[in-house]
Amino acid sequence: MADADERRGGPRAGAATIVITRDTGQYNFEAGTQGWRPSGGMVVGLSSSGAQAFAGLGSLAVVFSGSSGQTQYVSVAAPATPAGRTITFHV
């Protein structure tokens, strides 16, 4: 038999509530790579991923293949961030 909370559409005792916070950052990778591209070389893959995220549900996955000591990068060709501004990222 349903309890009073269930009849009103409320939570049941012991029920978990999941809250998903949307990432409002300029580069949040929630819906793709947002124009970021690999430099080539040892950076062999770049994609939007839900495996790990700092905020929200998305992140940028970068796949490396090579030895240490090589220098490679990912970049965005036409950033919306004005010149001289800082973009903070988490690894």
Higher model confidence: residue 27 or residue 61?
61
Q: Is 82 helix (H, G, I), strand (E, B) or coil?
A: coil
How far is CA 55 from its chain centroid?
Answer: 7
pLDDT at 49: 92
The answer to the question of residue 62 being in a domain is yes
The answer to the question of residue 18 being in a domain is no
The answer to the question of residue 35 being in a domain is yes
Per-residue pLDDT tens digits for 32-85: 999 899 887 888 889 999 898 888 888 999 988 877 777 888 888 888 888 888
State which residues form the domain around 40. Answer: 24-91
Name the domain count of the chain.
1
Portion of the chain with pLDDT greater than 70, in percent:
81
